[in-house]
Amino acid sequence: MASENELSASTLDDLLPEAKARLDEDERGRFRIICLSTGLIWEKLLEITRGYFDITEQGDFYQLYTTHKRHNKKFHVYLYLYQHPGTESPIIFTLNSYDDFRRSAHRMIKKTEDLYTLWIRPGETSELRERILDKEGIRLTGFDYDTFGKEEHKGERRPGYKRSGSHDSEDAEHVLEEWKMEYGIAPTQLRFDLPSKGQFHFSNDGEFVLTEGDTHFLYEEVVELALEKSHPLSETVQSSELKVSTQEGIDEIEERPLEMKIPDSLDYEDVDNLVSAMKQDDFYPYSYQAAPGSLLLSGRIMDEQNGGMISVATDGETMTILPRYESGFDSLIRFYRFIVEQVDPKTSIQIAEV
Amino acid sequence: MNEDRVESRIETLTEEKRQRFEDRLSEREPELREEIFERHQDDITNQLLDDKSELNNFNVIVSGFRNRSETGYRYIRTEPFIHKNKRNVDILIAHPEAGVAVLVEYERTLASGTDEKLEKFKRRKEFVEGGGDDDLDTNEYLANVLSTNVDAIDYVISSQHTPQDRLKAAGERKELSFCVWDLADHGVRCSIYYFPIKEHKTAPFKGHTEDELETYIIDTLANRVPKQDYLAFTFSSSKYLKLKHMAFVLVTRYHSKGNETFTYEDWENLFAKQDVELNNYLDQEKQTLYQNFISYGKECNVVVLEEDRGDLLKDGYRIKSSATSDGEKLEAELEEKMAKDRMGDDLKEELLKLKWDLLEDVQSTGETTISDFVDR
């Protein structure tokens, strides 16, 4: 039985209007665009995808089909995998729910090395929000938020508390600015309303959702912009490596470590908190040494989500990381994200000079 | 006291005394096991910390010489001449194009036991200067590793603690000329300082063979270079560290990718080709290391044979572990297995002693014997 979530288009130009027509028919429908980043070549990605979905080529897309059961009801999941021409990033289009996505592709993304959702850093989220709000008539109607950083108390009111939640109001834009100042919050999802163009939201995990309105607008004005802002980070991180090459019979180390600069630097006293926060985020500091004084830490960290291993060296202000045993870039980007969210949102990253 | 004697004494006990003996044994035995286990676990933990601290200093040296553009001198490998155990050196640096090898020995400190350490270093130096012995031709060995002949060899002793005056005096006493590298670790960066020690004031020894190396150390290494955790073990790291690291990596980087069994080739691929631990090791050395790993792994019930092909290098093995994605559990399980293996003999001996003591106790009750006056 063909599902209501199946799409027949074979080009993006056809898929966007087809999705719009479905949204118009079904009030409760949602159109989701999920951006991914990967260091895998396309063929390898397809091969991995085959382990999780039935896949069929459909023009410019690959239709990924699977089912899952909940409360004894069978759900049909149709995802449309597309390669963004400019960045070569994988993008998934779907009319299925977030839950359907979570139970199918999300599992694959989490377990697969070298595959990650497009992460939009806090600074990039702000820039994106400003660029979107520059457009005539568009309004911010709500946001989800969290507090990032070591002390969570960059705000003015009662610093020291972790804060997370959701807010919706006509004046959400002002509230967001005020809460940022007062409570030090950072948005993790932003919700917009654009008269005649519809309603949409996006999260810092690269998920863009249109609840009603213009699919072209969402893709061209929002998704493209987000890719333009956030793809360079993925490229930088993907270029990091450690490998051994043999020159004239001698093995030589070739490496491109990443260097993070942490303005709100780590002290020796932070080690215990850092380690327990790591474990919560599925990182295990498997072998490390911490020397008292300033924080001199070096060792290995295991990514428990996919078995990746990275090596780390830090003096508390600068932290260099390297993928080990050919581990994927997603462990590195996830670790950088961990530092941004748990230690200091202002942490920068670049390829280290060696 | 031996097992047979203890057993026969147990057999001669009366029903009542035997029961009392059994009761007290079942009360004390778990405590004893726990106590011995913890002792061995602590010993392993301490050994692992010692290994890590040594490796951290090795990593300072590797960081200084991993393929840098300023110099042709580069890190080659750890522990050259390893199969002559007493003559191996910690690290080999070389400028193969210039035909220079640099043998670097590491000491935790040179501030104490200086003479003994220099004496040991001198014997190694003389061994290499003499071209080795019947078992090991050091020149041939270096030519093998470096794919070129070596014309000159520099001898370096390195440490984080290098009191210059003390070393100078000891060098004169031992009539030994050599180079000293003073290592410093600043977490994300590290540095190496250098000075030569002459066997006597007027000796013609000038330090490193080439100015290029001296200039590189003084201009670049002394001013700090990025540091990284390159090596997780070397040939002569403790068996605990080697088993733990190899098993950990095999589980996370190999088995968890859906590979059921590994062979020598897979192991070699991880530690010698994908990463840096066994770079430029000779096949024979790698194979010995692998054999030791398999044999100790089997002893600890960490490694199991799955596919017997009659050749250790071709046999298929698996790391036996209940944890695959939980790093903490995996690490704890590996350490626990090693501690259990290590405690074996101690446990046997102390259990016997416990039984003996309990027998003495039980048998003496009801009659006044010496043991009644012993404060227990």
Q: How does pLDDT run across A10-21, given as a tens digit for each residue? A: 999 999 999 999
CA angle A281, A285, A290 (to 5 degrees): 125
Determine the residue among B63, B71, B144, B188 to mutate to test chain A binding: the one whose Cβ has the most chain A Cβ atoms within 10 Å: B188
Same domain, A115 and A218: yes
Candidate from A50-64, A119-133, A184-198, B170-184 with smallest mean pLDDT: A184-198
Chain B residue with minimum CA distance to A296: B187
Domain boundary among A181, A206, A238: A238
Same domain, B39 and B180: no
**Which 221-250 residues of chain A touch chain B by CB within 8 A?**
242-244, 248-250
A165-184 burial, b at 16+ Cβ within 10 Å, e below that, comes to eebeeeebbebbeebbeebb
Candidate from A150-154, A337-341, B225-229, B312-316 with smallest mean pLDDT: A150-154
pLDDT higher than 70, residue A76: yes
Q: Is A302 on the interface with B (CB under 8 A)?
A: yes
Same domain, A199 and A314: no
* Residue B104, in any domain of the structure: yes
Determine if the pTM surpasses 0.80.
Answer: yes
Rounded to an integer, what distance in angstroms lies between the CA atom of residue B334 and that of residue B326? 12
- φ/ψ of residue A87, rounded to 5: -105, -10
pLDDT higher than 70, residue B90: yes
**Which 245-264 residues of chain A touch chain B by CB within 8 A?**
248-255, 257
| Residue A292 pLDDT level (bands cut at 50, 70, 90) | low
Same domain, B92 and B188: yes
* Residue B58, in any domain of the structure: no
Q: What is the token pair recorded at A158?
A: 């009662």
DSSP A149-195: SSSS--SSSSTT----EEEE-TTHHHHHHHHHHHH-EEEEEEEEEET
Same domain, B196 and B221: yes
Same domain, A256 and A132: no
Same domain, A55 and A123: yes
Domain at A268, CATH number: 3.30.160
Q: Is A299 on the interface with B (CB under 8 A)?
A: yes
Residue showing tokens 């968890």: B256
Domain boundary among A183, A207, A238: A238
Domain boundary among B178, B202, B226: B226
Q: Is A50 on the interface with B (CB under 8 A)?
A: no
pLDDT higher than 50, residue B66: yes
**List of chain B residues whose C-beta atoms are within 8 Å of the C-beta of residue A314:** 187-188
Do the beta carbons of residue B110 and residue B178 sit within 8 Å? no
Number of domains in chain B: 2
Same domain, A227 and A325: no
Chain B residue with minimum CA distance to A314: B188
* The pLDDT of residue B368: 45
Q: Which amino acid is at A285?
A: P
Region A275-298: mean pLDDT is: 81
Rounded to an integer, what distance in angstroms lies between the CA atom of residue B295 and that of residue B279? 23
Q: Is A2 on the interface with B (CB under 8 A)?
A: no
* The pLDDT of residue A18: 96
| Residue B84 pLDDT level (bands cut at 50, 70, 90) | low
Same domain, B222 and B238: no
pLDDT higher than 90, residue A194: no
* Residue B222, in any domain of the structure: yes
* Residue A326, in any domain of the structure: yes
* Residue A145, in any domain of the structure: no
* Residue B19, in any domain of the structure: yes
Is B252 within 8 Å of A307 when comparing Cβ atoms?
Answer: yes
**List of chain A residues whose C-beta atoms are within 8 Å of the C-beta of residue B231:** none
Is B226 within 8 Å of A257 when comparing Cβ atoms?
Answer: yes
**List of chain A residues whose C-beta atoms are within 8 Å of the C-beta of residue B279:** 244, 251-253
Residues B268-298: tens digit of each pLDDT:
999 999 999 999 999 999 999 999 999 999 9
Q: Is A291 on the interface with B (CB under 8 A)?
A: yes
Is B229 within 8 Å of A311 when comparing Cβ atoms?
Answer: yes
* The pLDDT of residue A169: 96
| Residue A299 pLDDT level (bands cut at 50, 70, 90) | confident
* Residue A151, in any domain of the structure: no
Region B11-35: mean pLDDT is: 90
Region B308-328: mean pLDDT is: 93
pLDDT higher than 50, residue B369: no
Region B84-113: mean pLDDT is: 92
A275 beta partners? none
- φ/ψ of residue A73, rounded to 5: -110, 140
Same domain, A207 and A232: yes
Same domain, A126 and A221: yes
pLDDT higher than 80, residue B78: yes
Chain A nearest CA to B173, separation (Å): 36
> What proportion of chain A, given as a percentage, has pLDDT over 70?
96
Region B345-359: mean pLDDT is: 89
Q: List the domain range (segments joined by +) for residue B309.
A: 1-50+234-365
Determine the residue among B59, B252, B326 to mutate to test chain A binding: the one whose Cβ has the most chain A Cβ atoms within 10 Å: B252
Q: Which amino acid is at A221?
A: E
Cα diameter, chain B: 86
Chain B residue with minimum CA distance to A304: B325
* Residue B112, in any domain of the structure: yes
Same domain, A88 and A103: yes
pLDDT higher than 80, residue A301: yes
* Residue A305, in any domain of the structure: yes
Q: Is A339 on the interface with B (CB under 8 A)?
A: no
Same domain, B132 and B189: yes
Same domain, B117 and B200: yes
pLDDT higher than 60, residue B239: yes
Same domain, A201 and A345: no
Sign of torsion, CA A92 A98 A100 A104? positive
* The pLDDT of residue B15: 87
Region A279-302: mean pLDDT is: 82
Same domain, A131 and A11: yes
| Residue A153 pLDDT level (bands cut at 50, 70, 90) | low
Q: List the domain range (segments joined by +) for residue A295.
A: 242-351
Region B165-184: mean pLDDT is: 96
Domain boundary among B168, B196, B226: B226
Do the beta carbons of residue A317 and residue B342 sit within 8 Å? no
* Residue A182, in any domain of the structure: no
Residues B241-252: tens digit of each pLDDT:
999 999 999 999
Strand pairing of B91-95 and B100-106?
Answer: antiparallel
Q: Is A287 on the interface with B (CB under 8 A)?
A: yes
Q: How far is CA A333 from CA A114, A339, B18, B151, B193, in A?
A: 10, 10, 65, 47, 36
Same domain, B162 and B241: no
The gap between the terminal CA atoms of chain A, to the nearest Å, is: 58
| Residue B86 pLDDT level (bands cut at 50, 70, 90) | low
* Residue B142, in any domain of the structure: yes
Same domain, A212 and A80: yes
Number of domains in chain A: 2
Determine the residue among B160, B221, B229 to mutate to test chain A binding: the one whose Cβ has the most chain A Cβ atoms within 10 Å: B229
Residues A198-257: tens digit of each pLDDT:
899 999 999 999 998 899 999 999 999 999 999 999 999 999 999 999 998 999 999 999
Same domain, B347 and B239: yes
Three-class SS state of A83? strand
Chain B nearest CA to A203, separation (Å): 28
Same domain, B210 and B245: no
Please state, as a whole number, how many other Cβ atoms lie within 10 Å of the Cβ of residue B292.
14
Is B67 within 8 Å of A253 when comparing Cβ atoms?
Answer: yes
Domain boundary among B226, B254, B282: B226
Rounded to an integer, what distance in angstroms lies between the CA atom of residue B182 and that of residue B120? 19
**List of chain B residues whose C-beta atoms are within 8 Å of the C-beta of residue A313:** 187-188, 226-229
| Residue B376 pLDDT level (bands cut at 50, 70, 90) | very low
| Residue A151 pLDDT level (bands cut at 50, 70, 90) | low
Same domain, B35 and B74: no
* Residue A163, in any domain of the structure: no
Same domain, B149 and B30: no
Region A71-84: mean pLDDT is: 94
Domain boundary among A238, A273, A304: A238
* Residue B370, in any domain of the structure: no
Region B80-90: mean pLDDT is: 82
What is this model's ipTM? 0.91
Same domain, B248 and B179: no
Same domain, A316 and A227: no
* Residue A159, in any domain of the structure: no
User: Which residue in the set B52, B280, B327 is minimally distant from A250, CB to CB?
Assistant: B280
* The pLDDT of residue B278: 97
* Residue B56, in any domain of the structure: no
| Residue B85 pLDDT level (bands cut at 50, 70, 90) | low
* Residue A101, in any domain of the structure: yes
pLDDT higher than 50, residue B372: no
User: Which residue in the set A298, A307, A325 is minimally distant from B325, CB to CB?
Assistant: A307
